Amino acid sequence: MSRPAIRRTHAVAGSIALLTTLTFWTSTVMSELGGYPETIVDV
């Protein structure tokens, strides 16, 4: 694999990781602020 391909793969993987973390964090905050206890347990 060439260096540019490795950099591109790393950038894509980092973006996916960031989006995954932000999605989890957002769902956690939303359920904590306005959810029922069952919703909080599910998240």
The predicted pLDDT at position 43 comes to 65
| Domain chopping of the chain, boundaries | 3-42
And the tokens for 23? 């999605």
The predicted pLDDT at position 30 comes to 87
- Reduced to 3 states, what is the DSSP secondary structure of residue 36? coil
pTM, full prediction = 0.70
Residue 36 CB burial class (10 angstroms; 0-12, 13-18, ≥19): exposed
Residues 1-43: tens digit of each pLDDT? 899 999 999 999 999 999 999 999 998 888 888 878 887 777 6
From residue 11, alpha-carbon distances to 17, 20, 22, 30, 42 in Å are 10, 14, 16, 28, 31
